[in-house]
Amino acid sequence: MTTTSLRLRAGLVSIVLLAAFLGIWHLATRSAGPTTAMSPEYAKLMGLTATQGKSAMPGPLDVGAKLWEHLRRPFYDNGPNDKGLGIQLGYSIARVGMGYLLAVLVAIPLGFLIGMSPLLSKALDPFIQVLKPISPLAWMPLALYTIKDSSISAIFVIFICSIWPMLLNTVFGVASVRKEWINVARTLEVGTLRRAFTVILPAAAPTILTGMRISIGIAWLVIVAAEMLVGGTGIGYFVWNEWNNLSITNVIIAILLIGVVGMLLDQILARFTRMVTFPE
């Protein structure tokens, strides 16, 4: 069996699964027809759910139509509270980028230091272990209260949540560079700085990048929740705004897009990881 035919078959199964899912979804959300008799005057004041027995859950056709509508004009701007999906995603990605970049700038040098010093590694471990499992949203009130600016708070929350996997992976990667390599470097009288960049960094790079890949996933998870809370702009705000209007159709579209963007971010990091991985 060749790989191409395996791929083909996997693709076919994926399509069948998708079709089955959409079909069941469509059937499950069909409208039940007029429910109870109402005076026309009253019915005019009521929504479709009440009059037509329309399911509160939108069907795949509703979602598809709405998605097409959004994709046709992704960058409209109707004022501060209503912008196109493209703009909202842009805001979210920019926030994630800022927080994530800050986290990279802090976590990797710090991880290097900790990883190269067993003493620091042991001393800082309890703090890291306590701070690591804190939910991003638990930081939010504290951040809002101390920073007093909601957009910086959101970035801070991204920063604080995406820093730990990177830090831990860097520490682990640096600490577990093979002793022989370091000893060889030492025998050749390579300086500390040069040793760090030419021996340890390439050896630890795959582990560090794995940490970065986990972090970007977390950062993207956090941004949606943070924006729902802080509001203003971003895809999280879009979800909240449509939830306000009980427009489940738009919420589903947002969920879909969040998934797609998350996947893209992950793929980018995966590509970087492959670039620095080498066979031993």
Partner 1 sequence: MSIFDNPFDPDRSLRAGCACGQHQSAAEHEQATALRCDPVESEEKRYEGVVASAVMRAMFPQDLARRAFLKSVGASTALAALSQFFPLQTATEVFAQAGTPEKKDLKVGFIPITCATPIIMAAPLGFYSKHGLNVDVVKTAGWAVVRDKTINKEYDAAHMLAPMPLAISLGLGSNPVPFAVPAIENINGQGITLAMKHKDKRDPKDWKGMKFAIPFDYSMHNYLLRYYLAEHGIDPDTDVQLRSVPPPEMVANLRADNIDGFLAPDNICQRAIYDGVGFMHLLSKEIWDGHPCCSFAASREFITTAPNSFAALTRAIVDATAYASKAENRKQIAEAIAPANYINAPVTVLEQVLTGTYADGLGGVKTDAKRVDFDPFPWQSFAVWMLTQMKRWGQIKGDVDYKAVAEQVYLATDTRKLMTEMGLTPPTSAYKSFAVMGKTFDPAKPEDYVASFKIKKAS
Q: Under the rule (CB under 8 A), what is the footprint of partner 1?
A: 35-36, 38-39, 41-42, 44-47, 49-50, 56, 78-82, 144-145, 148-150, 228-232, 240-246
**Distance of closest approach, residue 11 Cβ to partner 1, in angstroms:** 38
Which CB sits closer to partner 1, 62 or 242? 242
218 φψ region: left (φ > 0), alpha (ψ -120 to 50), beta (else)? alpha
CA 115, 121, 126 angle in degrees (round to 5)?
140
**Distance of closest approach, residue 259 Cβ to partner 1, in angstroms:** 22
Which CB sits closer to partner 1, 49 or 273? 49
Which CB sits closer to partner 1, 91 or 112? 91
Cβ neighbours for 180, distance < 8 A, ≥ 6 positions apart:
none
**Distance of closest approach, residue 265 Cβ to partner 1, in angstroms:** 25
Q: Please, are residues 137 and 225 in contact by the beta-carbon 8 Å criterion? A: yes
**Distance of closest approach, residue 136 Cβ to partner 1, in angstroms:** 16
Q: Please, are residues 170 and 143 in contact by the beta-carbon 8 Å criterion? A: no
Which CB sits closer to partner 1, 79 or 279? 79
**Distance of closest approach, residue 31 Cβ to partner 1, in angstroms:** 13
Distance CA(50)–CA(45), nearest Å, equals 10
Closest CA to 238 of 104, 131, 86, 105: 86
DSSP state of 56: S
Which CB sits closer to partner 1, 44 or 72? 44
